[in-house]
Amino acid sequence: MASIWTPQLNAGLGSLVVAVGAWLAWDSLSMPGAGMVMAGVAAFLLWRARTIGLVWAWSTLLLGLECFAWPIITMVQIRSAGTQPSDEEMGTILSAVLMGLFSAVFWIAFSYGLFKRAGGESGSDDSGSPSPQPRADASVRPRRKP
């Protein structure tokens, strides 16, 4: 019997997380737009991620990139008004930059760890034996220290 925690279910959950992150980062994103983001991310995750670990590695990487884009989106939205930003808008930009960069570094570092962990699982061969170490060439003598 197949487990309920399949990569497909996790791809759906991961795409939901990324879509909510996009909706929060981009205030003017409509629900159909968030649904399109969710569908696109789900298709990407189903295409690229073969294991549950890779699904969440990709999801957290995309979430980190969204967090990195959040301050940029905030600055563009405030500057599109055409007037000089007020003190309140400057405070909004500052908090977006600080929190966006902090959370982006966190999520990207977290995804790096998940990729490293998933790489170790998928990198093992079927035989179970360790790969042979390269043999030192007998014609090369070690250097002597002076």
The Cα 30–Cα 133 span in angstroms is 56
**Phi, psi dihedrals of residue 6, rounded to the nearest 5°:** -85, 160
Cα(47)–Cα(120) distance, integer angstroms: 20
Lowest mean pLDDT among 4-13, 15-24, 107-116: 4-13
**End-to-end Cα separation, the chain, in angstroms:** 67
pLDDT at 129: 47
Q: Tell me the pTM.
A: 0.75
At 34-87, the pLDDT tens digits run 999 999 999 999 998 889 999 999 999 999 999 999 999 888 888 887 788 889
